[in-house]
Amino acid sequence: MKRLTSLIMTLVAFIYGICEYTDIIDYSRSYKAHVVAVVDGDTITVSTRGAHIKIRLFGVDCPEKLQPYGRAATLLTQKLAYNKEVKITPIQTDRYGRTVAYVSLPGGNRLNYELVSNGLAWWSKQYAPEEMQLAIRELNARLKGRGLWQDEDPTPPWDFRKGVRH
């Protein structure tokens, strides 16, 4: 079943093409900010223009703090982003008032992509269904057994939050 899922993900990625999710990105809204806190793997706080803004990474869902690999996801986010100047590219605001965004690290890599590539986040198909860069990176991490994909059947954070355990 897992091989079939991987094959399907590969075919979908091929059909849509290997591209960035550019249809919804308004780069003119991007701004530089300083990362002042890491809440968890997929949530940071930045300081810009005298304001603190909570940022939720677009298109990814990291394991919760109490889940396997939750701490590893937080540590990678700290290592890559904490106390650094980043570029925030906002996509939307979520129901909690957080800015949902891409976070570009010094050097240009996106934190969103790094977490998925390292097997420390799921591609959030529900909220970013056409984000094929994330789909491909998740597939690659799965096939290489990186991070949480070392486990036979990792519990996605959306199931963990509902109390469902695999």
**How long is the chain?**
166
Q: Is 142 a catalytic residue?
A: no
Give me the torsion for CA of 94, 96, 154, 69, rounded to 10°.
110
Token representation of residue 123: 């591609």
Run of H or E residues at 7: helix 2-16
Which residue among the candidates 3, 56, 95, 137 is catalytic per the annotation?
A: 56
Please pick, among 20, 29, 49, 64, the residue that the annotation labels catalytic. Answer: 64
Active site residue 98: yes
Check if 138 is active-site.
no
Of 93, 98, 133, 92, the C-alpha closest to 116 is 133
Question: Of residues 3, 49, 95, 98, which has the active-site annotation?
Answer: 98
Active-site amino acid positions: 56, 64, 98
